[in-house]
Copies of this chain bind each other. A is one copy, B any other.
Amino acid sequence: MADRISDAEHAVMEVLWDDAPLTAQDVAERVDPGRGWSANTVKTLLGRLLAKNAISHEADGRRYLYRPLVARDDYVSGESRRLINRLFGGRLTPLVAHLAERDELTAQDIAEIEALLKDLKQ
């Protein structure tokens, strides 16, 4: 079922995860302006997301209201897993180690994650 969501489609999903249901026009207005999309482009993407069963729509007079079917958390988990499996043998530690080695972690990041993990252990 749930086909893969493309990059452009993901931008539309973010809008609907933030607030739903919305009309196509609402989505077009709220989608990242950096993309510079025409309203038609957004409508096409909504159509493709419908076909992929990533969103649903219900009639509201002459227009439709769109809402997400896949939860953001599920999408995020899927994408994260995919990356971690593909590049780090499925384990999180090597990812953290990699970023650390490349100095991509700030002292604040480290402190935050430590606190988080401590919490996890109770």
Number of copies: 2
How many Å from the CB of A54 to the closest CB on chain B?
16
User: Measured between alpha carbons, how far is A120 from B96 in the docked complex, in Å?
Assistant: 11
Does A96 contact B92, Cβ atoms closer than 8 Å? yes
- Would you call A87 and B96 a contact (CB within 8 A)? no
Chain A interface size, under 10 / 10 to 19 / 20 to 34 / 35 or more: 20 to 34
Chain A 52-92 against B: per-residue CB contact (8 Å), 1 yes, 0 no? 00000000000000000000010011011101001110011
> Given A10-B86, A102-B73, is A93 in contact with B113 using a C-beta cutoff of 8 Å?
yes
**A residues apposed to B, CB below 8 Å:** 10, 73, 76-77, 79-81, 83, 86-88, 91-93, 95-100, 102, 104-105, 109-110, 112-114, 116-117, 120-121
